[in-house]
Amino acid sequence: MTTVDNGVNVQALLDAREVLKGAPEAAQFTWRASSKWQNGVHSTATVEKFFGLGAEQTHKTASTFSADHPAVFAAEDNGITPIEYLLVGLASCLTAGVASVAQNRGIQLRSIESTVEGNHDIRGILGADSDVRNGYNDIKVTFNIDADASKEEIEALVAQSQKRSAVYDALSNPTDITVEVA
Amino acid sequence: MLERGEVANSWRRERWDSLRLLTPNWLSRLPGLDYDGPDPDGFMTTGEVVEFIERFARVAAAPVRAGVEVTAVRPADDGYHVATDRGDLHCRALVLASGACNLATVPALAAGVPPEVHQLTPLGYRGPGQLPDGGVLVVGASATGVQLAAELRRSGRPVTLSVGEHVRLPRVYRGRDVHWWMHESGVWDQRWDEIDDLDRARRLPSPQLVGTPERGTLDLNALTALGIELVGRFAAVRDGTALFSGGLRNVCALADLKMNRLLATFDEWALGADVGPSEEFAPTAVARATRLKLDLRGGEFSTVIWATGFRPDYRWLDVPVVDPKGRLRHDGGVVDAPGLYALGLPMLRRRRSSFINGIEDDARAVIDHLARKL
Ligand SMILES: Cc1cc2nc3c(=O)[nH]c(=O)nc-3n(C[C@H](O)[C@H](O)[C@H](O)COP(=O)(O)OP(=O)(O)OC[C@H]3O[C@@H](n4cnc5c(N)ncnc54)[C@H](O)[C@@H]3O)c2cc1C
């Protein structure tokens, strides 16, 4: 039997699942980003620290992201639009899921590519039509996966990855949000 | 044997009027009592189930003390102290056979449903005539939810069904009842101590099946054809508006994939068996855009039915054997306390443990252990 290696340490994840079953406190994570206005609709957000496993944690390096609007919105386009960040999050979360599930199921992957399209009627954010919502009307993800597996097995990988995806859940289900002025 | 009501109490008092078993007659058997009526492929009505169980109680000469409700069970010297509404008892060993479906599980978000909307669980449901006029939101697409949704839709009401993860099955596959396949192929004999994820197997929702004389399939495509609207999993209520998950397409894809995998294992097992030609089922059709919000105050819905599962009631059990999620800690029916046993729970010892015909093997094994202990 050849060993399957997609570079995911599934054993560590399975071990963590067992440990955290009996220690729900340690499973409570808080992810954080801090944002700073630059000028116009341009802002930069930095992500470095988070809380989890009962302690403060730090990424290997801080990451900074620029968000702006494109020229067609009469802006300077110093970075992608905030709503595009959601697509980045969704694609990377589902991709990580496919790789992990494939590893767990003993499926060797050669490539995973995907395109994500979010359909957005901007009359909502412009206040041009109160019946139009602000966010995406719908999102479509198309995967192209090359792996040692049947079409059905690949479809099952993709379905399972949606079932266990944090970002898929965050986008497809309501989340309670509090916004305060400090 | 203590019974708070009469023999077959759950089938007398806790089932809706039109319900029939979803297991065919030839499979609805109890130890030493096989179905001997004229319609082995048919499905018993609740009245027929009551008669069947009463007949079994007579044939087995079961020492039933009816009308005795157990109000508390506590560990006592060399056994258990059992308090009832007709006096107390002491026993050395105790078998919990009080049922797996005493209570209807209702999600906490039900508290947010506006008071003008009538709410009900399957334990209180008898038939469409009992509901106020207007549309019905049925939450949950397992056997109970799909059956109630279909019945309400056929009564002429607008029905919306909120669908989370579910188990899709055809009633008949390659000319045989799907339970024939489960039974004969050995799926129902899978053991609790040999299964990968026992926790998941025990939580598995009941399949989308109904027992009718026509032996029709009642999957989501059949419900859509009846004119029932499908929406995603019920996620929250905000200001009187129900919010549903946008993940309906994926739960349907998961159910289709699982069904096809199961049918493929049947095909593999059936090579050379006397069954009909291969069959394929259309994927579950999901509307291009499903509604994500429903205004519960707008008058579209008069009723919400929570078909979101059942659970056992152990409030009277004063023995520390129930986990924080309300599940009994047991190993194949041998409960985690000396002399305490359980029967009649899903996947107790086999997949068939959820069904009437699963009791024979389970009772033998559990009583064997009990007798050796005594
Ligand atoms: C809606 C529905 C449909 C079902 N359809 C099928 C089907 O098609 N085929 C199938 O095989 N199975 C079906 N089942 C499962 C079915 O209930 C069981 O197979 C069977 O009834 C289980 O019998 P039981 O004796 O274990 O539990 P129950 O039938 O629940 O009996 C438990 C008994 O214990 C009594 N009791 C409970 N607590 C106390 C107490 N504190 N003191 C005294 N007495 C008490 C109750 O009154 C009851 O009579 C269905 C279940 C439900 C809820």
B43 CA to centre of ligand 1 in angstroms: 17
Q: In chain B, what residues touch A155 (CB-CB under 8 Å)?
A: 253, 257
The SS3 assignment for B30 reads strand
Measured CA to CA, the distance from residue B233 to residue B253 in angstroms comes to 14
The SS3 assignment for B252 reads helix
Instruction: Please check whether residue B148 is in contact with residue B16, taking contact to mean a CB–CB distance below 8 angstroms.
Output: yes
Both tokens of B177, joined, read 């009842």
**Which CATH number does the domain A81-182 belong to among 3.30.300.20, 3.40.50.300, 3.40.190.10, 3.30.70.260?**
3.30.300.20
Compare CB distances from A173 to B235, B253, B260 and report the shortest one's residue.
B235
Chain centroid to CA A31: 12
Q: Which residues form the pocket of ligand 1, taking CB atoms under 6 Å from any ligand atom?
A: B 2-5, 9-10, 15, 21-23, 69-70, 97-99, 101-102, 144, 310, 316, 344, 355-356
Query: Which pLDDT score, from 0 to 100, does residue A1 have?
Result: 47
Measured CA to CA, the distance from residue B326 to residue B337 in angstroms comes to 16
Chain centroid to CA A112: 16
Is A160–B254 a contact, with Cβ atoms under 8 angstroms apart? yes
Measured CA to CA, the distance from residue B164 to residue B252 in angstroms comes to 9
Query: Which pLDDT score, from 0 to 100, does residue A118 have?
Result: 98
Strands (E), chain A: 30-31, 34-39, 42-52, 55-67, 109-119, 138-147
pLDDT in tens, B326-335: 999 999 999 9
Domains for chain B: give ranges and CATH numbers.
2-102+311-373 (3.50.50.60), 105-309 (3.50.50.60)
Instruction: Please check whether residue B369 is in contact with residue B337, taking contact to mean a CB–CB distance below 8 angstroms.
Output: no
End-to-end Cα spacing for chain A? 59
Reported ipTM: 0.88
Instruction: Please check whether residue A109 is in contact with residue A146, taking contact to mean a CB–CB distance below 8 angstroms.
Output: yes
Both tokens of B120, joined, read 């009900």
Is B250–A162 a contact, with Cβ atoms under 8 angstroms apart? yes
Q: Tens digit of pLDDT per residue, chain B (374 long)?
A: 999 999 999 999 999 999 999 999 999 999 999 999 999 999 999 999 999 999 999 999 999 999 999 999 999 989 999 999 999 999 999 999 999 999 999 999 999 999 999 999 999 999 999 999 999 999 999 999 999 999 999 999 999 999 999 999 999 999 999 999 999 999 999 999 999 899 999 999 999 999 999 999 999 999 999 999 999 999 999 999 999 999 999 999 999 999 999 999 999 999 888 899 999 999 999 999 899 999 999 999 999 999 999 999 999 999 999 998 899 999 999 999 999 999 999 999 999 999 999 999 999 999 999 999 98
Measured CA to CA, the distance from residue B231 to residue B223 in angstroms comes to 12
End-to-end Cα spacing for chain B? 18
Which chain B residue has the Cα nearest residue A154?
A: B257
Domain boundaries, chain A: 27-79, 81-182
The CA R_g of chain A, rounded to the nearest whole Å, is 19
Q: Which atom of ligand 1 is nearest to the CA of B316?
A: 41
Closest residue by Cα to residue B331 from B297, B296, B295, B365: B365
Q: Which residue has the tokens 């495509």?
A: B221
Q: In chain A, what residues touch B289 (CB-CB under 8 Å)?
A: 137-138
Measured CA to CA, the distance from residue A3 to residue A108 in angstroms comes to 9
Note the pTM of the prediction, 2 decimals.
Answer: 0.94
Is B257–A152 a contact, with Cβ atoms under 8 angstroms apart? yes
Q: Which atom of ligand 1 is nearest to the CA of B49?
A: 21
Compare CB distances from A156 to B165, B246, B257 and report the shortest one's residue.
B257
Closest-CA distance of chain B to residue A156, Å: 7
The SS3 assignment for B256 reads helix
The residues on B that touch A, with CB distances below 8 Å, are 165, 232-233, 235-236, 238, 243, 245-247, 250, 253-254, 257, 260-261, 289
pLDDT in tens, B330-355: 999 999 999 999 999 999 999 999 99
Ligand 1: which residue has its CA nearest to atom 36?
B98
